[in-house]
Structure 1
């Protein structure tokens, strides 16, 4: 609005706007009144400058305030594992120039996870075995057939058939001939053992998992001990095999005076020094006795009772006890031994083998 037009009309006379109104707009007495735009212009520039400064401060402060907030996970949230970074030089497996991928670490097998070998065609079928019989293109008669206690089972069309006492190969041929006689021209028969329940050996004594073990065919002593988790640290250096009779368990050594007992050296067995592997039969008992115990006292670092294997010397027994102390007199070491039900004190050489129940005493030296 032009205040000059309000102040002076066409005839040059004052309008209704008073001098006091002029002074109120001009800011000083007697000055020409300014327009509204002229009054706002300098103030608008100042406002823009202040607004720009506030925006710049906000931009500079935003990262320092927002990042800690974003870094905090809400309570109860699930933390996801970080995705592994693939190197830039990696290539698809099998591509030219691709580096060989590292092999995944294999899980350590359990001690008793060694499985016996699969049954061979010469496996002898026994009572309670479950046979899986398959006849080509004859689903109605194919299936699982448990052998009963008398060694027979019922087969479609044939009635009772004998299985126990025959090898798998022989039973296949016998069943094929029976089906060929009046039923099929050229039957294709396959027989396998689905469950082994007839033959077993007993493993007792100082093994990690004693108990009965089913035989899936010919098994060696080393295979049976592997299934039983191997011998314990308290085992002696020998394994006794008590032979069964007609599939019946022979029990522990000494229970049957007429039973055959075979002694096997454990160290020779594990090292492969035995020329012939010891093969077990149905009803055999594998007994691992506990190692003999000797007692070490006197001037040794760890006196006490220690299991020792056959052939352990006096010096080796002392090493189990930590050896002699600085005040021990090894040259005067004596052994207390039971001889003919009498306790005797004897002087022994350090390389002499100890006997079960020996007590080794290391005295104090004089100087």
Structure 2
């Protein structure tokens, strides 16, 4: 039985590609990157070459900087560290200091992505990595990819819809609506799971019998419409649903067009005898 890919991935494939291009388009140092032990930072103070340094963040999360001494930087963003250094240098050392920072080497950071991607596995994160970038690195979504991605993040809470430290991402909103706030940054140690698409099946006297994506609120008539409607031989009053319940199949007769469909339902459209 032919599987029809989710409408939001087919209809908006160019939107998805555009978002991916935007995700990779940024240049320079990503300001949202969180500094941690092992990172090598190239720090430049404008018009003060004597203060230009290259420092590796030690295991305690600190660096040493001229005039200031030891400074804890673990957990700071690149822009946050720039502002902190400017503030400290302005306190009796330099008038209106301007600090720029480049992360020359990133520490060893990895994340796992499983489920409905073409190449699931463990991947190294090179610098700032978003969900879309990691999906792309993992070969993209499969045809069976569902609507949601779940990110398990250890040792932190997240403001987006969460259950403890599990972040739920709506891929439909991200791809179809371009809701870029769903394109979260991936952290070291994250585990991402891409769900499998729930399906229903339409068979018998419809123009395109096959498997179709299940969506909440899907009715019988909508499912038949997705299958391009009845054939000329169809009996619209004899539609049945084969439904699995408690491991057993049962046949539902007297099906109405506005009845709701459940995942894995098989809608059978019989041939009319008249």
* 1:315-334 superposed matches below 5 A: 315-334=221-240
CA offsets, 1:244-272, max 9 Å, x none? 13369xxxx9xxx9544536472487437
Q: How many residues end up aligned between the 2 structures?
A: 242
For residues 170 and 297 of structure 1, the distance between their equivalents in structure 2, rounded to whole angstroms, comes to 59
Structure 1 residues 231 and 114: alpha-carbon distance in aligned structure 2, compared to 1, 3 A threshold? farther
> Does residue 307 in structure 1 map to residue 213 in structure 2?
yes
Residue 317 of structure 1: SS of its match in structure 2?
helix
> 1:20 — aligned with what?
none
The structure 2 residue matched to 1:125, chosen from 35, 42, 46, is 35
For residues 94 and 242 of structure 2, the distance between their equivalents in structure 1, rounded to whole angstroms, comes to 82
- Is the Cα contact below 8 Å between 1:126 and 1:151 reproduced in 2? yes
Structure 1 residues 204 and 309: alpha-carbon distance in aligned structure 2, compared to 1, 3 A threshold? farther
Residue 318 of structure 1: SS of its match in structure 2?
helix
For residues 170 and 154 of structure 1, the distance between their equivalents in structure 2, rounded to whole angstroms, comes to 17
Residue 331 of structure 1: SS of its match in structure 2?
coil
> 2:3 — aligned with what?
none
For residues 76 and 173 of structure 2, the distance between their equivalents in structure 1, rounded to whole angstroms, comes to 37
The structure 2 residue matched to 1:340, chosen from 237, 241, 246, is 246
When normalised by structure 2's length, the TM-score is 0.62
- Superposed displacement of residue 114, structure 1: 2.1
> 1:113 — aligned with what?
21
> Does residue 357 in structure 1 map to residue 242 in structure 2?
no
* 1:180-329 superposed matches below 5 A: 189-194=99-104, 197=107, 204-206=114-116, 214=125, 224-225=131-132, 228=135, 234-236=144-146, 238-246=147-155, 259-262=165-168, 264=170, 266-267=172-173, 270-271=176-177, 277-278=181-182, 280=184, 282=187, 285-329=191-235
- Superposed displacement of residue 138, structure 1: 5.4
Structure 1 residues 216 and 363: alpha-carbon distance in aligned structure 2, compared to 1, 3 A threshold? same
Residue 113 of structure 1: SS of its match in structure 2?
helix
Which of these two proteins has the greater Rg computed from alpha carbons? 1
> 2:81 — aligned with what?
171
Structure 1 residues 148 and 354: alpha-carbon distance in aligned structure 2, compared to 1, 3 A threshold? farther
Q: Structure 2: which 5+ residue stretches go unaligned?
A: 1-16
Structure 1 residues 298 and 240: alpha-carbon distance in aligned structure 2, compared to 1, 3 A threshold? same
Structure 1 residues 209 and 110: alpha-carbon distance in aligned structure 2, compared to 1, 3 A threshold? farther
For residues 56 and 176 of structure 2, the distance between their equivalents in structure 1, rounded to whole angstroms, comes to 38
For residues 129 and 279 of structure 1, the distance between their equivalents in structure 2, rounded to whole angstroms, comes to 24
For residues 244 and 141 of structure 1, the distance between their equivalents in structure 2, rounded to whole angstroms, comes to 37
- Superposed displacement of residue 336, structure 1: 0.6
CA offsets, 1:24-67, max 9 Å, x none? xxxxxxxxxxxxxxxxxxxxxxxxxxxxxxxxxxxxxxxxxxxx
- Is the Cα contact below 8 Å between 1:113 and 1:227 reproduced in 2? no
- Superposed displacement of residue 334, structure 1: 0.3
For residues 139 and 154 of structure 1, the distance between their equivalents in structure 2, rounded to whole angstroms, comes to 16
For residues 266 and 177 of structure 1, the distance between their equivalents in structure 2, rounded to whole angstroms, comes to 43
- Superposed displacement of residue 292, structure 1: 1.1
- Superposed displacement of residue 151, structure 1: 2.0
Structure 1 residues 195 and 352: alpha-carbon distance in aligned structure 2, compared to 1, 3 A threshold? farther
Q: Which has the higher strand share?
A: 2
CA offsets, 1:138-185, max 9 Å, x none? 556635434344423466798765321234455346656888999x76
- Which fold has the larger relative contact order, with Cα–Cα distance below 8 Å and residues 6 or more apart in sequence? 2
- Is the Cα contact below 8 Å between 1:129 and 1:146 reproduced in 2? yes
RMSD of aligned alpha carbons: 4.6
- Superposed displacement of residue 131, structure 1: 1.8
For residues 174 and 267 of structure 1, the distance between their equivalents in structure 2, rounded to whole angstroms, comes to 36
- Superposed displacement of residue 362, structure 1: 1.6
> 1:51 — aligned with what?
none
Structure 1 residues 286 and 336: alpha-carbon distance in aligned structure 2, compared to 1, 3 A threshold? same
